[in-house]
Amino acid sequence: MLLGEKFRLEIHWEKARYEKKGTAIIEGCYLNGPVLKEVAQLNEKDFIKLDFINQYIMFVKHYYIAKLSWEGVRHTPEKIFLQNVELRNENINVLPKLRGDDYIVIDTKNHEDEKHQRYATYTAYLLNNDGTLYNFLGRGVNNA
């Protein structure tokens, strides 16, 4: 994964709950990374679409785009805390479950003001707590 630090955005959380089909409830969610120095204020209620096709192609027969939505935002100099966060995709329940020490890295390079309208999704990668790309084969599908 080649990702310029300037455009790196990370999504961290404490816990993911899978209570209904197609949805993971993300608790203790926050954003951080170098790109926060460039980011405008996030809307109180909004979403972004995360494109995981590069990692999840072994599990789904077509593209894998998940919708990360929130209702509630608190900005600090180092982090943006999100409340009432959900990650949605019809295939989410057949994919490996997110652990509290996993995190997502987003490449935001195509989402500067002049480019953003041409790109509907953000390229995203799931990482282990040590910063390596997630090894799905080592953990198995649907293990918590």
Q: What is the pLDDT of residues 84-120, one digit of tens each?
A: 999 998 877 767 788 899 999 988 876 555 544 554 6
Which residues constitute the domain of residue 103?
5-139
Q: Are 59 and 91 in contact (CB under 8 A)?
A: yes
Q: Is residue 37's pLDDT more than 60?
A: yes
Give the pLDDT of residue 61. Answer: 61
Do the domain assignments include residue 135?
Answer: yes
Do the domain assignments include residue 71?
Answer: yes
Do the domain assignments include residue 86?
Answer: yes
Confidence band of 143 (pLDDT split at 50, 70, 90): very low
Q: Are 119 and 111 in contact (CB under 8 A)?
A: yes
H or E element that contains 139: helix 136-139
Do the domain assignments include residue 144?
Answer: no
Per the structure, how many domains does the chain have? 1
